[in-house]
Structure 1
Amino acid sequence: MTGQAEITVVHWTASSDSDTDGLAALLAAYHLRTEAEKGEAVAGVDGLPERYRAEVADPGAAFADDVVLLALSGDTAVGCLVVTAPTGGGSEIKRLWTDPAFRGRGVASGLIDAAFAHAAGNGVGTVRLSVWKWRTTAIALYERLGFAVTESWDERDQLVCMERAV
């Protein structure tokens, strides 16, 4: 990896010095790709369902109770992940996304490691996530990182639910 910038993971906040535009771009890419994979492609952010548009427009408000982790290559946002506030001894990972140009460099693993460090520091015993069944590469990553398929807590068809002890 000679010549490649090191990837760092930071806690994103809605303060003025945070990379809100970079986070918004990652969230937009995540949602646009997901809608396309579901067969519901839209031309741009304005075509997304309202709840997703709200995340892109104002991630600070959308994730006010959660922790947002941002992976940076230098000053460029290249990945993101949201860890929900603990509930009943557990948290959920949402919106894990790596810029396709930075895949294969450990960005997702680094984000998940940081999510587990955060969860452990907050007394969380279990972390769960859901992933579309066609995202086989993501499922393989989660399995390598110790997640196991569990009974679904979500009624959406084709969603795989996974969890791992902290």
Structure 2
Amino acid sequence: MTDPREVSIVRWPDQARSGQDGPAQLLAAYHLQTQAEKGEAVAGVDGLPDRYRAEIADPQTVFADDVVLLALSGDATVGCLVVTASVDGRAEVKRLWTDPAFRGRGVAAGLVGAALRHAADSGVSALRLSVWQWRTGAIALYERLGFAVTESWDERDRLLCMERAV
């Protein structure tokens, strides 16, 4: 059995020997927390907008053109991240989420590092992301990993756009 303190990063569903449920539970937690932080809390997944419910119900279909990375601790899925397909040499990081019980252990940094390696291997010139301004811990992580604030490509208020060359 794998040491529960050890976390591995795998591509889902291709290489995920464990984590058969994939990212659905983590995506649900991500979207529910984000709605609450935006002041639009909902009681459960059924209250989320359709596009988010679709991600949770069938991530393999919704992210079919993208790369989904999972962080596994033993048989448990403890983190996820989506790297979108490249457009004009840029790919985007979306849905980075770590199980709160595993925060502070380098899981998110490991997922972003794997995303950067994937981008480099795929010939992507830049990796970008957007993050809510109130997520200061995430912003600090991205800055430590070389991302810098850039001109926004998203019109939503309080959303910060960042980019890093690969």
Q: How far did 1:21 drift?
A: 2.6
- Counting matched residue pairs gives 164
Quick one: which amino acid aligns to residue 113 of structure 1? G
Residues 8-38 of structure 1: per-residue CA shift (max 9 Å, x gap): 0000027996635351000000000000000
Unaligned runs of 5+ in 1: none
Instruction: Give the SS at the match of 1:87.
Output: coil
Moved more, 6-15 or 148-157: 6-15
CA contact (8 A) 1:78 1:102 kept: yes
Residue in 1 aligned with 2:89? 89
Unaligned runs of 5+ in 2: none
CA contact (8 A) 2:12 2:22 kept: no
Residue in 2 aligned with 1:105? 105
Separation of aligned partners in 2, 1:53 and 1:115: 24
Q: TM-score, normalised by structure 1?
A: 0.94
Map 1:9-158 → 2, pairs under 5 A: 9-13=9-13, 19-158=19-158
Quick one: which amino acid aligns to residue 163 of structure 2? E
RMSD, aligned α-carbons: 1.7
- Give me the identity figure in percent: 73
Quick one: which amino acid aligns to residue 35 of structure 1? Q
Separation of aligned partners in 1, 2:30 and 2:110: 18
1:159 aligns to 2:159 (yes or no): yes
Instruction: Give the SS at the match of 2:21.
Output: helix
Separation of aligned partners in 2, 1:144 and 1:16: 28
Q: TM-score, normalised by structure 2?
A: 0.94
Q: How far did 1:103 drift?
A: 0.2
